[in-house]
Amino acid sequence: MTQILIDNRKFNAEEGETILEVARRNQIDIPTLCHHEALEAVGACRLCTVEITGEDWNGSTKLVSACLYPVEEGLIVQTRSEGVLRLRQTVLDLLMARCPESTVIRDLATQHGQVTEYQQFTDGSKCIMCYLCVRACAKLGCHAISAVNRGTLKEVAPPFHEHAESCVGCGTCATICPTGHIEMVDTAETRTIWKREFEFVTCKVCGEPLITKAYRDYALENRRLPNDYYTVCSACKKSELSGHFARLSL
Amino acid sequence: MEKTYTVIPKNCTGCRTCELACSMVKGVDGNLGHSRINIYPTGPDRFMQMTCMQCIDAACVSVCPTDALMRNKETDAVEVVEERCIGCALCETACPFGHIHFDELKGIPLKCDLCGGEPTCVRFCPHRALEMRR
Ligand code: FES
């Protein structure tokens, strides 16, 4: 057990916990964009920056990202110091320059009092390079997308911008994207994402689209549930079973 | 767990007060689309309440890649830990009872969590068709 000081309040922390974890547990607000509890932290956005110091640091401080920095005994953390607020403003300013069309970023920037109107250079992109999609895809074991290129040309894409073989069209990347950058178009029969078209498995009772065939195959292989779990939609499962239960309970 | 969530279909009149109570407590502005319990007519004057079975060997728990569905030791309910969910929707299709549905706006699944041990639907059912039984 370690004791640390956040904004002049004392908190207990477990060995190996990050500053962010301790702060969140104690309802101290630190803004984040790339953090997700189920995914490995990568420290991509730097919005969670806090200022730290120690008793024997002779007054020197440093700025670190709270989502990565593990706590240590006697750590003194400031989450709203002048330096921290200025850095967060800079981070948001750069993000505003990158994607002024993203409402999430605009709202955050407004909250932090830092809204500059920029001419966009990444034509309409809302990607903030948080890698949530890349990490979520990897978590599912598909690894269909990753960051390509460098500098201002950097973007998330499947290898060589080609059809990603390992993509199953689950749409997790589009769901998890905080700015709605990833385009996914669903019709009654198909889903188009990352320039690939996926066919849906349709409910054998009502014909509603369920999940993509590739995703069903992925689930069958990796999650080991019987095939007939994936043939009927939720609504039809319920109405079929309600009749079945009714007969049982008579 | 001392008490078990029990449905008594022969008492159900299909008034759907449970659905309304659930969506008031768990949904947005009483939007019935977010109710975690649904009433299905099964014959003349017969209804069946369909909600989560809190399965012992739950399909939703076993498909979840991030352990975002976890059993609450106190209530024995399977709960969604929103912060751990990446929105892959595997649980939605996997549920053999069709219980889980996806909140498209938030990108997380919705399911019954027994309201932490004291289900609101039980409290509001006027016909004792839902009970917590010992
Ligand atoms: S949340 Fe820590 S760097 Fe993005």
Tell me the average pLDDT across A44-58: 94
The first and second tokens of residue A70, run together, are 């593990």
Q: How far is the CA of A42 from the centre of ligand 1 (A)?
A: 7
B116 pLDDT exceeds 80?
Answer: yes
**pLDDT-based confidence at A108, cuts 50/70/90?**
very high
Same domain, yes or no: A85 and A169: no
Structural domains of chain A, count: 2
Q: How far is the CA of B126 from the centre of ligand 1 (A)?
A: 50
Are residues B93 and A219, on separate chains, in Cβ contact within 8 Å? yes
CA torsion B65→A21→A174→A101, rounded to 10°?
180
B109 pLDDT exceeds 90?
Answer: yes
Q: What is the pLDDT of residue B105?
A: 82
- Whether ligand 1 lies within 6 angstroms of the CB of A46 is answered as yes
Same domain, yes or no: A7 and A82: yes
Listed in order, the ranges of chain B carrying CATH 3.30.70.20 are 55-111
Tell me the average pLDDT across A153-181: 91
Q: How many CB atoms lie within 10 A of CB A198?
A: 21
Q: How far is the CA of A98 from the centre of ligand 1 (A)?
A: 17
Same domain, yes or no: A24 and A73: yes
Tell me the average pLDDT across A130-137: 96
Mean pLDDT of chain B: 91
Tell me the average pLDDT across A122-140: 89
Query: Which residue's entry shows tokens 């994402």?
Result: A193
Nearest residue of A to residue B48 by CA position?
Answer: A242
Tell me the average pLDDT across A199-219: 92
Q: What is the pLDDT of residue A225?
A: 84
Q: The domain containing residue A109 runs over which residues? A: 1-125
Q: Which of A35, A88, A130 has the most ligand 1 atoms within 8 A of CB, as the residue to mutate? A: A35
Q: What is the pLDDT of residue A125?
A: 84
Residue B97 near residue A241, CB atoms below 8 Å? yes
Same domain, yes or no: A80 and A185: no
Tell me the average pLDDT across B31-51: 90
Nearest residue of B to residue A169 by CA position?
Answer: B88
H or E, element range at B20: helix B17-26
The first and second tokens of residue A118, run together, are 């920029």
The first and second tokens of residue B86, run together, are 């990446």
Q: What is the pLDDT of residue A23?
A: 96
What pTM, to 2 d.p., does this model score?
0.88
The first and second tokens of residue B28, run together, are 């947005």
The first and second tokens of residue A121, run together, are 């250079």
Q: Which residue has the higher pLDDT, A78 or A115?
A: A78
Q: Is residue A159 part of a domain?
A: no
Residue A179 near residue A127, CB atoms below 8 Å? yes
**pLDDT-based confidence at A151, cuts 50/70/90?**
confident
Q: Is residue A139 part of a domain?
A: no
Q: Is residue A42 part of a domain?
A: yes
Task: Name the residue type at position A64.
Answer: V
Chain A contact present for B33, CB below 8 A: no
Are residues A241 and B98, on separate chains, in Cβ contact within 8 Å? yes
H or E, element range at B61: helix B59-63
**pLDDT-based confidence at B90, cuts 50/70/90?**
very high
**pLDDT-based confidence at B20, cuts 50/70/90?**
very high
Q: Is residue A19 part of a domain?
A: yes
CATH number among 3.30.56.10, 3.40.50.300, 3.30.70.20, 3.10.180.10, domain B55-111: 3.30.70.20
Same domain, yes or no: A28 and A121: yes
Radius of gyration of chain A (CA): 23
B1 pLDDT exceeds 80?
Answer: no
How far is residue A85's CA from residue A217's CA, in Å, rounded to a whole number? 48
Which residue in B101, B93, B11 sits closest to B51, CA to CA?
Answer: B101
Helix (DSSP H) and strand (DSSP E) numbers for chain B: 4, 8
The first and second tokens of residue A49, run together, are 């920056």
A59 pLDDT exceeds 70?
Answer: yes
Tell me the average pLDDT across A118-136: 85
- Residues of chain B in contact with residue A210, where contact means CB-CB under 8 angstroms, are 93
| B6: Cβ contacts below 8 Å, ≥ 6 apart | B130, B131, B132, B133
How far is residue B134's CA from residue B123's CA, in Å, rounded to a whole number? 16
**pLDDT-based confidence at A122, cuts 50/70/90?**
low
Query: Which residue's entry shows tokens 């990607």?
Result: A127
Q: Is residue A47 part of a domain?
A: yes
**pLDDT-based confidence at B103, cuts 50/70/90?**
confident
Burial class (CB in 10 A: 0-12, 13-18, 19+), A91: buried
Residue A211 has its nearest CB partner, among B48, B84, B93, at B93
Residue A135 near residue A36, CB atoms below 8 Å? yes
How far is residue A16's CA from residue A234's CA, in Å, rounded to a whole number? 41
Tell me the average pLDDT across A186-191: 92
Residue A223 has its nearest CB partner, among B42, B68, B90, at B90
Are residues B97 and A249, on separate chains, in Cβ contact within 8 Å? no
Are residues B94 and A246, on separate chains, in Cβ contact within 8 Å? no
The first and second tokens of residue B101, run together, are 């549905």
Instruction: List residues of A whose CB lies inside 8 A of any B CB.
Output: 36-39, 136, 139-141, 170-172, 175-176, 210-211, 216, 219, 223-225, 229-230, 232-239, 241-243, 245-246, 249
Q: Is residue A132 part of a domain?
A: no
% of chain A with per-residue pLDDT over 70: 98
How far is residue A12's CA from residue A31's CA, in Å, rounded to a whole number? 21
Q: Is residue A33 part of a domain?
A: yes
Tell me the average pLDDT across B45-54: 92
| DSSP one-letter string for B86-119 | ----HHHHH-TT---EEETTTTEEE---GGGGS-
From A125, A156, A188, give the residue that closes a domain.
A125
Mean pLDDT of chain A: 91
| DSSP one-letter string for A78-132 | ESS-HHHHHHHHHHHHHHHHH-TT-HHHHHHHHHTT-------SSTT-------H
B56 pLDDT exceeds 70?
Answer: yes
Q: What is the pLDDT of residue A250?
A: 60
Tell me the average pLDDT across A205-232: 90
Query: Which residue's entry shows tokens 């922390």?
Result: A13
How far is residue A55's CA from residue A208's CA, in Å, rounded to a whole number? 63
Q: Give the pairing of strands A49-53 and A146-148.
A: unpaired
Same domain, yes or no: A104 and A15: yes
The first and second tokens of residue B108, run together, are 């997380």
A84 pLDDT exceeds 70?
Answer: yes
Query: Which residue's entry shows tokens 């917590």?
Result: B132
> Could you give the ipTM of this predicted complex?
0.87
Q: How far is A140 from chain B (nearest CA, A)?
A: 7
Tell me the average pLDDT across A197-216: 93
Q: Is residue A70 part of a domain?
A: yes
Same domain, yes or no: A17 and A87: yes
